[in-house]
């Protein structure tokens, strides 16, 4: 299901609460790329891109783009003061050595145990897996931003992924257009519901089994 920009920004704003100063953060394409818009100006975070940028800045204004400077999704970016370029091998080495504190990704499915399927629907053409497996496997924390339902109104939070896996038991948090879940010790836990949804609606629209945090909140 396609989200409007207001809902996309709601998810990005909620994800931004998980970004702490001093982190090195990798953002996936789509909704995750909106996260920097919801961080304070001058916030001490370094954004990393697997095509070889450490220190991504704000998106440039139209007409000020550098044709040689883009993120891994091919979108124009800028470089912060002190940022640098690397080759792709060095950028991937940072990921594989566990230097990425947080990655925020989109997904097609997430299982109740935290398995991630986000790179291909069988039969569809894609340019490749990119850095998804490395990021999902090696980042210190993995957050997924996605719609709660797919275009057929099926739950994307599932008991077992039916699509090809990107990585197993790697997801720590899922933020959908209906609420926020965490996964700890193999248990999917609902911690937040976005208004106007109700707990009954969350239960009815979620295939995966989950428990409810005693500290669960409703938020706008």
Determine the Cα angle at 53 with ends 52 and 54, to 5°: 125
| Residues in Cβ contact with 212 at an 8 Å cutoff, skipping those fewer than 6 apart | 189, 190, 199
Annotated active-site residue 112? The verdict is no
What is the C-alpha to C-alpha distance for residues 149 and 172, in angstroms, rounded to an integer? 19
What the block records as the tokens of 16 is: 């931004």
Q: Of 2, 21, 50, 65, which one is the catalytic site residue?
A: 50
Q: Which residue, among 212, 166, 172, 209, has the nearest Cα to 192 in the 3D structure? A: 212
* pLDDT(205) > 80: yes
* pLDDT(1) > 70: no
pLDDT tens digits along 87-99: 999 999 999 999 9
The CATH number covering residue 15 comes to 3.40.1080.10
* pLDDT(127) > 80: no
Residue-number span of the structural domain to which 179 is assigned:
5-219
Domain count, the chain: 1
Asked if 153 and 178 count as a contact pair (C-beta separation under 8 A), the reply is: no
* pLDDT(74) > 90: no
* pLDDT(146) > 90: yes
pLDDT tens digits along 4-18: 889 999 999 999 999
pLDDT above 70: percentage of residues in the chain: 99
């Amino acid at each position: 299901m396609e989200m409007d920009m207001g809902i996309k920004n709601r998810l990005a704003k909620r994800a931004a609460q998980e970004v702490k100063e001093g982190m090195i953060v990798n953002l996936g394409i789509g909704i995750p790329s909106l996260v920097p818009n919801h961080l304070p100006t001058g916030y001490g975070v370094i954004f990393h891109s697997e095509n070889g940028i450490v220190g991504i800045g704000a998106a440039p204004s139209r007409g000020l783009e550098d044709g040689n400077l883009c993120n891994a999704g091919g979108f124009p970016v800028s470089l912060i003061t002190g940022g640098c370029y690397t080759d792709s091998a060095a950028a991937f080495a940072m990921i594989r050595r566990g230097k990425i504190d947080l990655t925020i990704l989109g997904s097609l499915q997430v299982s109740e145990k935290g398995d991630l399927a986000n790179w291909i629907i069988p039969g569809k053409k894609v340019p490749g897996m990119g850095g998804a497996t490395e990021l999902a496997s090696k980042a210190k924390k993995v957050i997924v931003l996605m719609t709660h339902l797919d275009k057929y109104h099926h739950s994307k939070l599932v008991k077992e992924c039916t699509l090809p896996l990107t990585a197993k038991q790697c997801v720590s948090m899922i933020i959908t257009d209906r609420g926020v879940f965490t996964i700890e010790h193999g248990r999917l836990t609902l911690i937040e519901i976005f208004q106007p949804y109700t707990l009954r609606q969350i239960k009815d629209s979620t295939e995966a089994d989950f428990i409810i945090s005693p500290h669960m909140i409703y938020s706008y």
